Amino acid sequence: MKHFLSLLDFSPDELYEWLDLAHRLKQEWQTGGNRPILQGKSLAMVFQKPSLRTRVSFEMGMVHLGGYAFYLSPLEIKMGGRESIPDVARVLSGYVDGIMARVFDHHHILQLAEYSRVPVINGLSDYNHPAQAFADLMTIQEHKGQLPGLKLAYVGDSNNVARSLLFGAMKMGMHFAAASPPGYTLSEEDIHLGQSIRASAWQQIELTENPREAVRGADIIYTDVWTSMGQEEETAQRLRIFPPYQINQELVSQANPDCIVMHCLPAHRGEEITDEVADGPHSVLFPQAENRLHAQKAILVRLLAPDYKG
């Protein structure tokens, strides 16, 4: 049985195979609809954090594939509070074919996977966001026609999304640059992990405090909110620190002329990204959001119907 907890857990060949499936499922949906590959299958969606894209994409992904998904709110479970995480995993394993969880503490995801008898999908944790990064790889492949050799520049708070992007870029032969202010960078452990999984020895990992340096020669510019969920008490401090890391037209002009701009959303327009860029010719924000649906359908098929050969 496989779980989907981190891109670290998959080989480049596996990720390419899953990406191919995601593209096929998207094309199939656009030309008449998906086959009921997951008919009779059910997915429990456990949320400690609210979400638009994660909830709707997983729920509609199950619907498109003939399965059934249902939402469990923080108040219904209070996972780790009213009921222990091992007990939640054991109970849900007796009811459903898969569990998707969106949590604060990454250890909660690991515990769910340890005690579950069905596949567990990491819908986000404070450590990583592999479902988002997998969909981002699909979007880059779709718009650039390839992954190896491209340069992905991340600008802003090097958070869980940045960490998963680093791992995905290294697995797929891409260069990775990140520009963040001091105290908001990826850790030495993150960089060591990234270097250890490089698909090619020539791949570069660049950390800098200068956004212009990071985006120079970039094929992809990526950003996220300056204040993530759970960090609201830091908002005022972050609003003082991060303005030099805004994705605006002047910064985009330092990248390759055909670069694409990505954001996992929700966007705080006027903070980490301007309207001019978010709605401009380089932006793929909304195709990127749409691809969450099709990428997650591929994850669901590979975990809940592992013998499917289509």
The rounded average pLDDT for each run of 10 residues, N- to C-terminus, in the chain (310 residues) is: 95 98 98 97 95 96 98 84 90 98 96 98 97 98 98 98 98 98 97 97 97 98 90 89 98 98 98 98 98 98 94
Query: In this structure, are 58 and 117 located in the same domain?
Result: yes
Query: In this structure, are 123 and 38 located in the same domain?
Result: yes
Phi, psi of 82 (to 5 degrees): -65, -30
pLDDT value for 94: 98
pLDDT value for 75: 84
Domain count, the chain: 2
Is residue 309 a part of any domain in this protein?
no
Residue type present at position 9: D
Is residue 75 a part of any domain in this protein?
yes
Query: In this structure, are 299 and 281 located in the same domain?
Result: no
Query: In this structure, are 259 and 283 located in the same domain?
Result: yes
Is residue 310 a part of any domain in this protein?
no
Query: In this structure, are 119 and 29 located in the same domain?
Result: yes
302 is known as an active-site residue: no
Query: In this structure, are 100 and 190 located in the same domain?
Result: no
102 is known as an active-site residue: yes
Query: In this structure, are 283 and 157 located in the same domain?
Result: yes
CA distance 275 to 7: 31
Query: In this structure, are 170 and 125 located in the same domain?
Result: no
How far does the chain reach from its first CA to its final CA, in angstroms?
A: 20
Is residue 34 a part of any domain in this protein?
yes
pLDDT value for 78: 76
pLDDT value for 188: 97
Query: In this structure, are 276 and 300 located in the same domain?
Result: no
Q: Tokens at residue 170, please?
A: 């290294």
Domain that holds residue 54: 7-129+292-304
Is residue 2 a part of any domain in this protein?
no
Check which CATH number belongs to the domain holding 244 and give it: 3.40.50.1370
Task: Please calculate the CA angle 246-251-256 and round it to the nearest 5 degrees.
Answer: 135
Query: Which of 3, 246, 264, 288 is an active site residue?
Result: 264
pLDDT value for 24: 98
Pairing status of strand 98-102 against strand 42-47: parallel
Query: In this structure, are 251 and 279 located in the same domain?
Result: yes
264 is known as an active-site residue: yes
Q: State pTM to two decimals.
A: 0.97
224 is known as an active-site residue: yes
Is residue 97 a part of any domain in this protein?
yes
Is residue 1 a part of any domain in this protein?
no
Query: Which of 53, 64, 102, 294 is an active site residue?
Result: 102
CA distance 77 to 34: 32
Is residue 18 a part of any domain in this protein?
yes
Query: Which of 111, 203, 224, 288 is an active site residue?
Result: 224
Phi, psi of 136 (to 5 degrees): -65, -40
Task: Please calculate the CA angle 225-272-249 and round it to the nearest 5 degrees.
Answer: 150
CA distance 301 to 228: 30
pLDDT value for 86: 95
Query: Which of 53, 64, 108, 129 is an active site residue?
Result: 129
Query: In this structure, are 77 and 171 located in the same domain?
Result: no
Q: Is the Cβ–Cβ distance between 268 and 247 less than 8 Å?
A: no
Residue type present at position 57: S
Sign of CA dihedral 99, 105, 110, 114: negative
Query: Which of 282, 292, 294, 302 is an active site residue?
Result: 292
CA distance 182 to 280: 30
pLDDT value for 230: 73
Which residue matches tokens 């340890």? 114
Query: In this structure, are 144 and 169 located in the same domain?
Result: yes
- Residue 204's Cβ-side half-sphere holds a number of Cα atoms within 13 Å equal to 13
CA distances from 132 to 56, 94, 235 (A): 13, 28, 24
Query: Which of 111, 132, 246, 288 is an active site residue?
Result: 132
pLDDT value for 23: 98
